[in-house]
Structure 1
Amino acid sequence: MTCPPGSTIGAYLCQAGQVLRAAAIDQPRYEARLLLAHALGTTQDALLRNPRAEVPAEAAARFGQSLKARLDHTPVAHILGRQGFWTLDLAVSPATLIPRPDSESLVEAALEAFPDPKRPIRVLDLGTGTGALLLAVLAERPAAFGIGLDRAPEAAALAARNARENGLADRSAFLAGDWAAALDSAFDLVLSNPPYIERDAIAGLMPDVARHEPALALDGGADGLDAYRAITAALPALLAPGGVAVLELGQGQRAAVEGLARGAGLEPAGCRADLGGIERALLLAKGGLAKKPFVGPAPAH
């Protein structure tokens, strides 16, 4: 950044937008507003209401550091330390995958499978990360209790923090463990967004992902299906009679994962597409659930 001392909000936004655009960053003006609002400790709306306001030197220095990190493809969520998901505001860190809007299709599928908000369901989130999936369901189902499990202790600790900050700590618990090895309980609903990227494909992902998000949350083995093999093998013991699992899929993985589920004695019960039309949320049942297909995104909540 070459803005002189005393430059205005408008000047910083203009120059930062140009720099980000030149670096082929998507939505450069939007990201410039996000980063400058963060540096100033204010909102994007406040920036736009007062573009002639001077940017103090301390905020300008913070903005310059944030911009430098973004040009190195550090995800915006890591720079801000926060990410919105469903109705929640979540802390994020390099120890966890950043929650994405596509994963909200799993929440929609889970809520449709358990439509009664007064029903006291038991929920398990395998590979909980930030706790996004579990906490979103708990926020909509006030009689539910859930456990989030993650192989990374740092992730389990972050999810517990997010539960506290969103007022859900009294109905949740978070543990570090290898998939379901630490559990000896049955659940009505099991959620999971497992690692599903083929190992050799990780290096070719967008730099924001390949260089800055944890390999533990991305690497699905040689064919992308290692985690699904472990999860589908464990689900018959984890699901209560009539229980439901909702698993996030990578593009084109539905048939393979349904095959693994059938081999474990589970019943595929439909798949909900994300907002891009990709089959994303696979629903599996352990007996007693009518096969009601999930074929597209639900109306905005």
Structure 2
Amino acid sequence: MMTNDLGSWLKKAKSLLQGQSDTPLLEAQVLAAHILQKPRSWVVSHTECLLDPPQLQALDEALMHLSAGVPLPYLTGNQEFYGIPLEVSPAVLIPRPETELLVETALEYLRLNPSARRVVDFGTGSGAIAICIAMEITDTSVIAVDISPEALRVARNNARRHQVDQRISFLLADLADPLVGTFDLVTANLPYIPSRDVRNLAVAKYEPVIALDGGADGLSLITRLLHDLPRLLATPGMALFEIEYRQGESAIQLAKALFPMARIEVHRDYAGNDRLLQIIT
């Protein structure tokens, strides 16, 4: 006998997602909350709720996509980052928890240096880094740069959502070419996966390859921006580049060649992997 209560659907969804997700029940609850347009807390506390045929159909279709590997944030259109909800779409990389290290390091620098308020963020994607900085340090002036018009549309939506769109300028550009002047803080979360590895990444099936593929060694775009950095970065100033876990030593050597007098180090993320190249002039 078929049952059409929410609890039975959650049980089915959990079973289907088991093995491909570390948190199958949580993902099922988040998906149900999105489809039913209810808070997740409501889903958890109303498992006896009866679902009508259109609701069941919508839930099953979404579950089919999720079990096929479509990332949950692309199905819900949202991802939480640094405590705030952000719109995401297949045009942008889904913000990752490890990028919060870059945000925390940037905010610490800006708080310790109250005259450092000119910021540029390269490869802004959903706008995650630029928006968090603008929200936390309310007198900053931020330029958010991306090569993708659709990514910038998502970033603008997020900036409006969090009421910082008046303090962020969005620039469609291939890295730093059109920029003039200097910046106190340069942040960059550019593609850094070596091309040979992108093909084997499950996320590359759904997330934009342009936001993942960093060329033969993964450092192509990072190297390009590093070579522009001497004209962009003020003295004193700080630049932060998110890197792949195997790129720490290479990134340090690239930076030292361009900034022999700077303080250069690589920070590890919460998993203990090299993750963030820091240059302080």
Determine if the TM-score, normalized by the shorter chain, exceeds 0.5.
yes
Please tell me whether the aligned partners of residues 160 and 173 of structure 1 are also in contact (alpha carbons under 8 angstroms): no
**CA-based RMSD:** 1.6
Partner AA of 2:8 in structure 1: A
Q: Secondary structure at the match of 1:169?
A: coil
Corresponding residue for residue 28 of structure 2: 32
> Which residue, 246, 249, 253 being the options, matches 2:243?
249
Distance 1:118 1:157 in 2: 30
Structure 2 residue 132 is matched with structure 1 residue 140: no
1:169 is the counterpart of 2:185: no
Equivalent of 1:274 in 227, 244, 269: 269
The aligned amino acid for 2:156 is A
Instruction: Determine the C-alpha separation between the residues in 2 that align with 1:9 and 1:217.
Output: 37
- Residue 219 of structure 1: aligned partner: 213
1:7 to 4, 17, 22: 4
The answer (yes or no) to whether the contact 2:116–2:184 under 8 Å persists in 1 is no
Q: Using the alignment, how far apart are the partners of 1:158 and 1:94 within structure 2? A: 10
**Does residue 18 in structure 1 map to residue 18 in structure 2?**
no
1:114 counterpart SS class: helix
Residue 234, structure 1, aligned to residue 231, structure 2: no
Q: Which residue of 2 aligns with 1:294?
A: none
Partner residue of 2:72 out of 67, 76, 92: 76
CA distance in 1, matches of 2:65, 2:126: 22
Equivalent AA in structure 2 for residue 250 of structure 1: E
- SS in structure 2 at match of 1:179: coil
- 1:210 corresponding residue in structure 2: 204
- Number of equivalent positions: 280
Contact 2:252–2:264 under 8 Å retained in 1: no
How much does 1:271 deviate?
A: 2.9
Question: What residue in structure 1 maps to residue 105 of structure 2?
Answer: 109
Asked if structure 2 preserves the Cα contact closer than 8 Å seen for 1:120 and 1:145, the reply is no
Q: Distance in 2 between matches of 1:212 and 1:87?
A: 24
Matched, 1:49 2:49: no
Asked if the contact 2:252–2:266 (Cα under 8 Å) also holds between the matched residues in 1, the reply is no
**1:67 equivalenced with 2:63 (yes/no):** yes
Greater Cα offset, 53-62 or 28-37? 53-62
Separation in structure 2 between the aligned mates of residue 164 and residue 53 of structure 1, nearest angstrom: 35
In 2, Cα distance between equivalents of 1:174 and 1:226 = 23
- CA distance in 2 between partners of 1:120 and 1:203 (Å): 40
C-alpha separation between the residues in 2 aligned to 1:269 and 1:114? 18
Q: How far is the alpha carbon of 1:56 from its aligned partner?
A: 2.6
Q: Is residue 175 of structure 2 the alignment partner of residue 179 of structure 1?
A: yes
Deviation digits for residues 115-144 of structure 1, max 9, x if unmatched?
248546011000110010111111111111
- Secondary structure at the aligned position of 1:54 is classed as coil
Kindly provide the amino acid, as one letter, of the partner of residue 206 in structure 2: H
Paired with 1:225 and 1:164, the residues of 2 have a C-alpha distance of: 32
Partner residue in 1 for 2:82: 86
TM-score calculated relative to the size of structure 1: 0.89
Q: In the aligned structure 2, how far is the partner of 1:228 from the partner of 1:7?
A: 52
Q: CA deviation at 1:113?
A: 1.6
Rounded Cα–Cα distance in structure 1 between residues aligned with 2:154 and 2:44: 33
Residue 87 of structure 1: how far off its partner (Å): 2.8
> Residues 41-80 of structure 1: CA distance to partner in whole angstroms, max 9, x if unpaired?
0122111112111123222222111111112211101000
CA contact (8 A) 1:9 1:54 kept: yes
Q: For structure 2, list consecutive stretches of 5 or more residues without a partner in the other structure.
A: none
1:231-278 CA distance string (max 9 Å, x none): 110111111121110110111211101111112226243333222121
Q: Counterpart of 1:194 in 2: which secondary structure?
A: coil
SS at match of 2:235: strand
Matching residue of 1:292: none
Aligned-partner Cα distance in 2 for 1:117–1:87: 24
Aligned to 1:284: 279
